[in-house]
Amino acid sequence: MKHVPRLLVGLMAAVLMSQWLPLPVLWAGEPQSLEQCACIKDDTLRLQCYDRLASSTGAEQMPERSKPPVGEEEDGAPAVRISPEDDEPSYLTRHWELDESGPRGRFAFMPHRDNYILPFTYNKSPNHDHTGEVDTVKNAEVAFQLSMKVKLWQDVLGQNMDLWFGYTQRSFWQLYNVDESAPFRETNYEPEVLLNYRTDWNVLGVHLRTVTVGLNHQSNGRAESLSRSWNRVVGNLGLEYDDFVVQLKTWYRIPESQGEDDNPDIDEYMGPGELWVHYLLGGHRLGAMWRNNCRWDHNRGALQLEWAFPLGRKLNGYIQYFTGYGESLIDYDHAVDRIGIGFILNDWD
């Protein structure tokens, strides 16, 4: 019986040796086969062996996935690269919501024409004939314009047409005429209803984007001899070519009775329409407006030149030069020669 402890110790040693015998082979290096791991009796160690074997063989059998070549997607199809400039909607697209890039929907106000203020303008030939209660008109004055529109009906009758209401107000303020208590010399009010057709007809790179028809009323809200007003049917085209924006605006004056017509000869000065051309260069905008009465005898018209330039992230400088007839209703038959400098409140970028 005294050999029993030795026998038990021997048996225990044999059992332990049988359990741990594969370990020198296993930990001498990385496991070479699943059979080596299967010989391990301990569950935890056997699982670690399988993990090490899978890790070592997986790294060898699974090569690193190469990146697709430039200009090609992972499925082998050509990649479409769109630069920020290509993805940026054009001015007319933003101005008339021609696509789904950022529609505001109905009854949301947005800029219509330019919104600007010219704190200083100089007119070398002011109109002294229709001054009302103002005895003397100064050459220097402030000019500003506020303009907005709102969409009343989107996709009219299920078509690519939107119905808009626009309103523009332009004022000339004799701020520096302190002797006359700095009066407002003239303000014009211009509401209009416009039906705009959205299109993208391309001819030789020139895109016809908008076709617009509507009714326009313009008046100065004054009484008796200083009253000026007219009503028009308008038709406009909006085109784009690269960085150029072209807007052709035409109109037909709705006739009025002789007793109610405040300005029967306004067509002789304003003509049948006007042409606007703008060139967008980075943050700058160069523009020109030309208008003519299209008559050989007593030919009259107007020219406006403008430059909008960045001053900051949300602030733009603005220089405007106007020469000719029709700058305002009170001056429709008086030639004006004015230059002004200030700020444009809504930019084109």
Structure tokens at 179: 């002797």
Distance CA 253, CA 230 (A): 7
**219 an active-site residue?**
yes
Q: If 0-12 CB within 10 Å is exposed, 13-18 middle and 19+ buried, where does residue 26 land?
A: buried
- Could you tell me which residues come within 8 angstroms of residue 192 by beta carbon, excluding any fewer than 6 positions away? 165, 166, 167, 168, 214, 215, 216, 217, 234
List all residues 6 or more positions away from 101 whose beta carbon is below 8 Å from its beta carbon: 89, 93, 94
Q: What does 175-235 look like in DSSP terms, one character per residue? A: TT-GGGT--EEEEEEEEEEEEEEEEEEEETTEEEEEEEEEEEEEE----GGG--EEEEEEE
Residue bearing tokens 């208008």: 291
Q: Is 262 annotated as a binding residue?
A: yes
SS3 content of the chain, % helix, strand, coil (to 5): 20, 40, 40
Ligand-binding site membership of 56 (annotated): no
The whole-angstrom distance between residue 227's C-alpha and the CA centroid of its chain comes to: 38
Place of tokens 């001819």: 203
Q: Which of 56, 207, 219, 334 is catalytic?
A: 219
| DSSP one-letter code for 244 | E
**Which residue shows structure tokens 């020109």?**
288
Catalytic residue among 217, 278, 298, 328: 217
331 is in an annotated binding site: no
181 is in an annotated binding site: yes
Q: How far apart are CA 197 and CA 161, in angstroms?
A: 4
CA–CA gap between residue 112 and residue 150 (Å, rounded): 9
Tokens of 123: 């007119």
Alpha-carbon span 24 to 37, nearest angstrom: 12
Catalytic site includes residue 217: yes
Residue list for the binding site: 181, 222, 227, 262
Residue list for the binding site for Ca(2+): 181, 222, 227, 262
Positions annotated as catalytic residues are: 217, 219
